[in-house]
């Protein structure tokens, strides 16, 4: 369409040039014959000059006028549809242009306001944070992992991201940015940030590689904890590979659950294990701290922003492993029932892991249409989700044993 718009633009330029030449020629011609002073009273006034006789008027002159009329009609009849043909190209060109401009404003906003925590380019970072008790008293200063945002639209819809930006994530370092949550940014600026986030989403194969790398990192933790005497990159790499290939589904699921890659962006633990994002076991239960005992020791899946998944909670919520897996694929949606008792609350809660939901809630007026639809060799294809089916099955196995 852009090519079409450009072709039309150049055709237009040529036509304009020809038109301009014509007008110039006409003016020049008038100027030249004007010198002859045809209408001068010295000779004969123009209105006294004999005009064409009937013979000529009704044949040559009439034919010429009619032909000119027909010619003009043809120009209008063809020119208008031709102009109209280029309209879709012009429109999409303009949308691309403005979307790009808004996204680049979003990038400026991002680097100014967000990069200190989420890292330059939104690849993940850390946020200094003060944990307080429910009375607001100091408990500990921690470094809270701020997840990469480069796959956020695989997990959340644009509407959910907008909610998180507007209201922040309470009880975490993520502040409210939008006016609805008492933040400093306008709705337009929030929109620009979302367009920027959309622009930096990883391609599906890049994302798969990142998730895999994180799983290997989690496996490294397992193998070095099991055998602290393990030394040398080669030996450790071999042990990691051995661990992953021989892992039971539940063991693999534990790695998926605790994936530390991109500052926890791909993990479940950052929401379902309180303290995971700030390595709470480093500061927990310090008897010297008057309120130190308020810092929970990490209980894997014991609940945080997301609910407690231990003590058989998920097997009661999801009677079958397939129901459980289906919930992980699609996540929760505002006002939609899940499992035996659940209702999704909306606003960026439980993400979708098995299918791209970036434009699940777009309307035709939104500029976000099409994030999930990409073209592979010219064929439209859905991007798919953040986790593979095997990874989803593994995490289901792990959770159902919690």
Binding-site ranges for ligand HEC (CB under 6 A): 113-114, 116-118, 127, 144, 146-147, 149, 152, 161, 164-165, 169, 172-174, 177, 193, 265, 268, 270-272, 277, 305-307, 309, 313-314, 317, 328, 332, 339, 342, 344-345, 349-351, 353, 395, 399
Task: Report residue 139: phi and psi, to 5°.
Answer: -115, -50
Annotate 175-190 with DSSP letters as a single string: ---BGGGT-SB-HHHH
Strand partners, 141: 130
In the complex with ligand HEC, the residue whose CB is nearer, 118 or 383, is 118
Shortest spacing between CB 304 and ligand HEC, in angstroms:
8
Report how far apart, in Å, the C-alpha atoms of 366 and of each of 151, 282, 343, 346, 369 are.
Answer: 20, 45, 27, 19, 7
Evaluate whether 354 touches 392 at the Cβ level (below 8 Å): yes
In the complex with ligand HEC, the residue whose CB is nearer, 5 or 350, is 350
Of 215, 398, 211, 244, the residue nearest 321 (C-alpha): 398
Shortest spacing between CB 95 and ligand HEC, in angstroms:
23
In the complex with ligand HEC, the residue whose CB is nearer, 289 or 315, is 315
Task: Report residue 248: phi and psi, to 5°.
Answer: -70, 165
Shortest spacing between CB 216 and ligand HEC, in angstroms:
17
Shortest spacing between CB 138 and ligand HEC, in angstroms:
18
In the complex with ligand HEC, the residue whose CB is nearer, 220 or 270, is 270
Strand partners, 125: 146
> For helices 158-167 and 187-199, what crossing angle results, to 10°?
130
Shortest spacing between CB 140 and ligand HEC, in angstroms:
15
In the complex with ligand HEC, the residue whose CB is nearer, 271 or 357, is 271
Shortest spacing between CB 144 and ligand HEC, in angstroms:
5
In the complex with ligand HEC, the residue whose CB is nearer, 198 or 332, is 332
Shortest spacing between CB 373 and ligand HEC, in angstroms:
22
Question: What single-letter DSSP state applies at residue 338?
Answer: E
In the complex with ligand HEC, the residue whose CB is nearer, 202 or 268, is 268
Distance from C-alpha of 398 to C-alpha of 402, rounded to nearest angstrom: 7
Annotate 131-187 with DSSP letters as a single string: EE-TTS-EEEEEEEEE---TTHHHHS-HHHHHHHHHH--TTSS----BGGGT-SB-H
Distance from C-alpha of 363 to C-alpha of 359, rounded to nearest angstrom: 9
Shortest spacing between CB 287 and ligand HEC, in angstroms:
28
In the complex with ligand HEC, the residue whose CB is nearer, 86 or 119, is 119
Report how far apart, in Å, the C-alpha atoms of 261 and of each of 52, 94, 197 are.
Answer: 91, 38, 18
């Amino acid at each position: 369409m852009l090519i079409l718009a450009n072709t039309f633009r150049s055709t237009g330029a040529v036509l304009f040039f020809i038109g301009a030449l014509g007008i110039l020629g006409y003016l020049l011609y008038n100027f030249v014959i004007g010198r002859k002073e045809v209408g001068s009273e010295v000779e004969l006034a123009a209105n006294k000059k004999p005009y064409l006789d009937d013979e000529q008027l009704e044949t040559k002159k009439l034919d010429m006028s009619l032909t000119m009329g027909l010619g003009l009609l043809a120009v209008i009849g063809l020119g208008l549809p031709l102009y109209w043909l280029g309209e879709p190209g012009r429109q999409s060109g303009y949308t691309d242009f403005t979307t790009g401009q808004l996204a680049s404003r979003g990038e400026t906003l991002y680097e100014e306001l967000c990069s200190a925590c989420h890292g330059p380019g939104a690849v993940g970072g850390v946020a200094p944070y003060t944990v307080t008790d429910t009375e607001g008293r100091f408990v500990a200063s921690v470094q809270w992992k701020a997840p990469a945002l480069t796959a956020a639209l695989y997990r959340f819809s644009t509407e959910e991201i907008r909610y998180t930006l507007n209201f922040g994530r309470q009880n975490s370092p993520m502040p409210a940015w939008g006016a609805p949550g008492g933040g400093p940014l306008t709705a337009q600026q929030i929109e620009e940030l979302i367009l920027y986030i959309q622009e930096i989403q990883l391609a599906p194969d890049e994302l798969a590689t990142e998730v895999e790398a994180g799983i290997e990192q989690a496996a490294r933790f397992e193998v070095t904890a099991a055998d602290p005497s393990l030394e040398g990159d080669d030996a450790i790499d071999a042990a990691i590979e051995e661990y992953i290939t021989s892992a039971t589904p539940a063991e693999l699921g534990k790695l998926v659950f605790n994936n530390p890659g991109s500052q926890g962006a791909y993990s479940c633990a950052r929401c379902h294990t309180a303290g995971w994002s700030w390595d709470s076991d480093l500061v927990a239960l310090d008897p010297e701290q008057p309120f130190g005992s308020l810092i929970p020791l990490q209980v894997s899946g014991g609940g945080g922003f997301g609910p407690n998944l231990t003590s058989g909670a998920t097997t009661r919520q999801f009677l079958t492993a397939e129901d459980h897996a289906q919930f992980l694929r699609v996540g929760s949606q505002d006002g939609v029932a899940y499992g035996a008792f659940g209702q999704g609350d909306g606003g960026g809660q439980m993400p979708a892991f098995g299918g791209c939901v970036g434009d699940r809630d777009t309307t035709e007026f939104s500029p976000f249409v099409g994030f999930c639809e990409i073209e592979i060799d010219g064929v439209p294809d859905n991007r798919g989700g953040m986790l593979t089916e095997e990874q989803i099955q593994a995490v289901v196995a792990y959770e159902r044993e919690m």
